Structures are given as structure tokens and as C-alpha cells.
Amino acid sequence: MTIAPAATASSILDAAQQIMQAVGYNGLSFRDVASAVGIKSASVHYHFPTKGHLAAAVARRYTDRLVAHFDAIDQKRPDPRAALAAYVATIRATLEQDGKMCLCGMLAAETDAVPPEVKAEVRRFIDLNVTWLATMLGRAASAPTDSDVMRDHAMALFAALEGAMMIARGAGDVSRFDAMSTQFGRIGLWPQ
């Protein structure tokens, strides 16, 4: 049985994402992706001519899924505090599932090694996260707040959560993420 080209491309993206979330861009190889999908390396090259094209496509899809997730959170949780809690729960779930890191966090750590098209997708991911967080933090504020202040606050919260994920993964202990995210609320990064 032959797999349809769209299904093959999707399977390639899935495998590449799993690999990059575990070992980063530098650990990604077409041979490993092909092996995970059960195809030849040439088939990976057919869909994605270079490693940069493949990594950018994975990061773009990851970010697009995040945007859809933001929309779902916004619809299900109109209260900004509940929306922010759902956001943190999503980050925690990524960490808890096989100890994976945020894909774009992994790629950001390797920024000097990734091609421009991957850097652009990482920047888009960061910008979308910070914008959404700033919106939620602004809604949660008891008084009107300057948008630049909210953006800086959102950037600090995003950086803290990405760092908490990295520390928890390095320690092999998700409870460290929980402890840190709770502490973020105590120090005011996270509205309680």
C-alpha cells in the first residue's frame, strides 16, 4: 500500500518534531526521520529539500497549532486568569509527555546553528506567545496598564516559563516546573 503524499509529508513533520523536541535542530537527520516514518531518506528530500526547509515547516506547523490552541482557550475560558492557567497547563503537558521541550524553545537555544527561515519561525512563535500573554495579563489587570509594560511583563513571564521547562527537564522532575510556576504567581509574574 502506498501512502498519499500529504500523509507522508504529515508523518515526516510529526517525526521531525519528535526528534527536534528531544535533541534539537543539530540532532535532526533525514535518515532518522525516514527511519521513524518507514520511508527512504530520498522521500524526505522529495517533500523537504533541505534540513532548513523541514525544520521551518515543523516550526510553522507548531506555531499554527499554538494559534489554534489560543483561540480554543479564549473561547472556553473568557476569564483571563483561567486562560493563563490553561496556557501554563499546556506548557506543563508538553514537558510531562516524554520529557519534551517546547520546540521553538529548543530552536531558539540553537539560534546560531539554524538557517534564516527557521529563525523567522522561532521569532513568530515568540511574538505570538508574548502578544497573547500581554493581552491576557492586560485583561487580568485591575486597572488600565500601558501596553509596553504589559508586553515587557508578558516577555518576562514567557521567558520564566520556558526556563522553568528547561530546568525541570534537565532535572528530570516535572514537579520543579510546578514549584517554579507557583512561585511566579507569588512574585507577581502570574496573576493569582
Average pLDDT over the chain, rounded to an integer: 91
pLDDT at 29 over 90: yes
pLDDT at 52 over 90: yes
pLDDT tens digits along 145-179 = 788 999 999 999 999 999 999 999 999 999 999 99
Whole-number Å distance between alpha carbons of 75 and 83: 9
* Least confident piece of the model among 6-10, 21-25, 141-145, 165-169: 141-145
Looking at residue 175, its pLDDT comes to: 96
Whole-number Å distance between alpha carbons of 123 and 114: 12
Model confidence, pTM: 0.90
Mean pLDDT computed over 51-78 = 93
Contact between 96 and 174 (Cβ < 8 Å): yes
Q: Which of 59, 3, 54 has the alpha carbon at shortest distance from 30?
A: 54
Residue 42's Cβ-count burial label (10 Å; 0-12, 13-18, 19+) is exposed
pLDDT at 2 over 50: no
Determine the Cα angle at 97 with ends 84 and 71, to 5°: 35
Band of residue 7 on the pLDDT scale cut at 50, 70, 90: confident
Whole-number Å distance between alpha carbons of 79 and 74: 8
Q: Which CATH superfamily is domain 51-186 in?
A: Tetracycline Repressor, domain 2 (1.10.357.10)
Whole-number Å distance between alpha carbons of 58 and 47: 12
Looking at residue 1, its pLDDT comes to: 40
Contact between 107 and 101 (Cβ < 8 Å): no
Q: Which of 22, 162, 27, 173 has the alpha carbon at shortest distance from 105?
A: 162
Looking at residue 39, its pLDDT comes to: 95
Render 110-165 in DSSP notation, one character per residue. TTTTS-HHHHHHHHHHHHHHHHHHHHHHHHH-SS---HHHHHHHHHHHHHHHHHHH
Whole-number Å distance between alpha carbons of 105 and 125: 9
* Least confident piece of the model among 53-62, 69-78, 155-164: 69-78
Look up residue 25 and give its three cell numbers: 535542530
Mean pLDDT computed over 64-83 = 91
